[in-house]
Amino acid sequence: MNASVASMNIALVGNPNCGKTALFNRLTGGRQKVANYAGVTVERKEGKFNTPQGKSIHVLDLPGTYSLTPSSPDEAITRDVCMGRIDEVGLPDIIVCVADATNLRLHLRFVLELQQLGRPMILALNLMDEAGRRGIKIDSQALSRELNMPVVETIAVQRQGAEALAKQLDLPVPTSGSVTRHADLHQRVREVMAIAVTVPEYSDSRADKLDRIVLHPVLGLMILAVVMFLMFQAVFSWAVPLQDGVSAAIGWLSSAVSSLLPAGPLESLVSKGLFAGLGTVMEFLPQILILFLFILMLEESGYLPRAAFLLDRFMFAAGLTGRSFIPMLSSFACAIPGIMATRSIQDPRDRLTTIMVAPLMTCSARLPVYTLLIGAFIPRVEVMKLFNLQGLVLFALYMAGILSALLVSYVIKKTRKDKSEHALLMELPRYRWPNPRDIAMGLWERTIIFMRRVTGIILSLTVILWFLSSYPAPPDGATLPAIDYSFAGRIGHFMEPLFSPIGFNWQICIALIPGLAAREVAVAALATVYAISGGDDAAAQALSPLIAAQWSIPTALSLLVWYVYAPQCLSTLAVIKRETNSWKQVFISTGYLFALAYFASFATYQLARMWL
């Protein structure tokens, strides 16, 4: 085999919901890499695999699209890559068009449209197992003849499901041949279907029955409410044993490591800076993972677009679109993937509004703050023998974020000048069982992102904070706690007058600063501040009873409300800049959230002081 054929670039292209990403995962396993196309905000997913004969295949997973007439930046990228207009990835040697075998009537039109580009193509008939179950008979040879391109059958969810495609890639590159121009692609699809495909009289009664319930105007909304409520209860209760485990492990590691070090600045940095900070944040990994697990499963099962269908009219009334539901739900995990997911919203106005309000969805980084404060100030009592009061308060905080988002988007809608039509036009995919493999890969991706944040930004901030709160050391004969003399203490005291109307003491003021970079650091910062001001190692592990004793309830409530709106973390601001390509939007977003946060906390603090 010579070098020129030992490696090859292919691109996976297809309609949304054709199982393309599952096929990509199947082909590449863990060997994939996600980046962005230069200058635009479209995800570039690449991977590698080897064919049975050892040919090295570089594969590009292009955004799903219905047509080469793009209606979003994602679809434009797919078209441009297929036409070789994107230098950084070059022209693919072969375009592998993935089509859902159960939905060829729609997907073949795009295959024919792509073919008119005159590039070598392979058609991968995906979901062949599902087609078989539905009694759809496809004569691949006839299909291949009619379309004048190789056709392989794939089942992305099975181990051997992509073998036929890998084998096909060992064969010589298919010639594009002469392309017959069809004036009416839909008519041509009907002709091809008549020759090669037998579709039984449509009867997918199980899915139909399910849809009658899930999309029912009343039942459907109730189901949605239950699903959402369960999700948040799970995050708050199922994660507890795992969190205890993580916390115990870090505590053990901390004491093991610091016992090896001589007492002094280094030991102090390691136990009070590194482990106190890192430990408090790592403890929330289980919650974040459970949240992502729910979102991934809802997404994979096909439920999320149905939720978007149910909510579209409500969201439209509030100045959003049903499509905003998925980015906003992702924002509950983290605003960054949420804001990135707005790329699937075609209308630029809807997209911008969604970006503006996505940070109001309570991201998982705020959970540490909520958990700490709820644990310290809200009693763990049962309400109506069914719910836990702590869970209910958490639910209320999430609702406050959601309602504020709707209010803000409504204001944006009313003040916008361009009032021309917004489109929905959304396909509802079939239901499917979430594939454990794809879920696991999705979770793994998110864990890596979280860990990177923890080890990168968060860790360095925690260390900087430790330095600020440890130096300069108190003078001889000092009467106040050591931290009062430190840089951090001075900064905190300096900020205090601005924040005392909303009930924040100077320790909270210090924690707010690193909280700007990453919200979850606020807790780590409090741990660091109190560990050092208390001069007691145990304080880091026992922050909750400590603040319960020192803060008033209005202060705690005010801080909870502050974090509903909280100034966004720097990474969110960076992603808004990247996605909107405008500093103006970044300033607007930061400004309005800060104002909302201050106002809401002020109201909460003052009212709570009057009533409690």
Partner 1 sequence: MLLSELALGQTASVVSVEDAYPADAIAQRLRDLGFVSGELLKVRAVGPLGAEPILVKIASSQFALRLNEAARIRIALASSP
Q: Which residues bind partner 1 (CB under 8 A)?
A: 66-67, 69, 71, 102-106, 109, 186, 199, 202, 208, 211-212, 215-218, 220-221, 305, 308-310, 312-314, 316-317, 322, 421, 423-428
Q: In angstroms, what is the minimal distance from the CB of 58 to partner 1?
A: 30
CB closer to partner 1 out of 428 and 451: 428
C-alpha to C-alpha distance for 8 and 578, rounded to whole angstroms: 32
Burial pattern 472-493, b for ≥16 Cβ within 10 A else e, equals: eeeeeeeeeebbbbbbbbbbbe
Q: How far is the CB of 117 from partner 1 (least distance, A)?
A: 16
Sheet holding 56-61: strands in order across? 32-36, 43-50, 56-61, 7-14, 94-100, 121-126, 151-153
Task: Collect all residues with Cβ–Cβ distance below 8 Å to 569 and sequence separation of at least 6.
Answer: 335, 365, 515, 516, 517, 518, 519
User: Could you tell me the smallest distance in angstroms from the CB atom of residue 39 to partner 1?
Assistant: 23
In this complex, which beta carbon is closest to partner 1, that of residue 308 or of residue 596?
Answer: 308
Q: How many CB atoms lie within 10 A of CB 436?
A: 11
Nearer to partner 1, 104 or 320 (CB): 104
Please state the φ and ψ torsions of residue 75, each to the nearest 5 degrees. Answer: -65, -30
CB of 186 to partner 1, least distance (A): 5
Nearer to partner 1, 426 or 588 (CB): 426
Q: Angle 455-457-463 (CA atoms, 0-180°, nearest 5)?
A: 80
- Report the Cα–Cα distance between both ends of the chain, in Å, rounded: 81
SS3 (DSSP) at 347: coil
Select 353 or 486, whichever has its Cβ closest to partner 1: 353
Closest approach of partner 1 to the CB of residue 26, in Å:
23
Phi-psi region of 435 (alpha: psi -120 to 50; beta: other; left: phi over 0): beta
Q: Which is nearer to partner 1, 318 or 564 (CB)?
A: 318
Which pair of tokens denotes residue 504? 């924040």
Minimal distance, residue 67 CB to partner 1, in Å: 4
Q: In the bound complex, what is the minimum distance in angstroms from residue 207's beta carbon to partner 1?
A: 10
**Closer to partner 1 at the Cβ: 171 or 428?**
428
Beta-carbon contacts of residue 271 (< 8 Å; ≥ 6 apart): 254, 255, 257, 258, 537, 540
Of 88 and 208, nearer to partner 1 (C-beta) is 208
In whole angstroms, the minimum distance from the beta carbon of 111 to partner 1 comes to 13
For the CB of residue 209, give the shortest distance to partner 1 in the complex, in Å. Answer: 12
Q: Rounded to the nearest whole angstrom, what is the least distance from the CB of residue 153 to partner 1 in the complex?
A: 18
Q: 46 vs 153, which CB is nearer to partner 1?
A: 153
Look-up of token digits 């320790």: 507
Looking at the Cβ atoms of 381 and 425, the one nearer to partner 1 is: 425
- Going along 170-256, which residue ranges are E strands? 197-198
Longest dimension (CA), the chain: 95
Q: What is the DSSP letter of 345?
A: -
CA–CA distance, 190 with 25 (Å, rounded to integer): 32
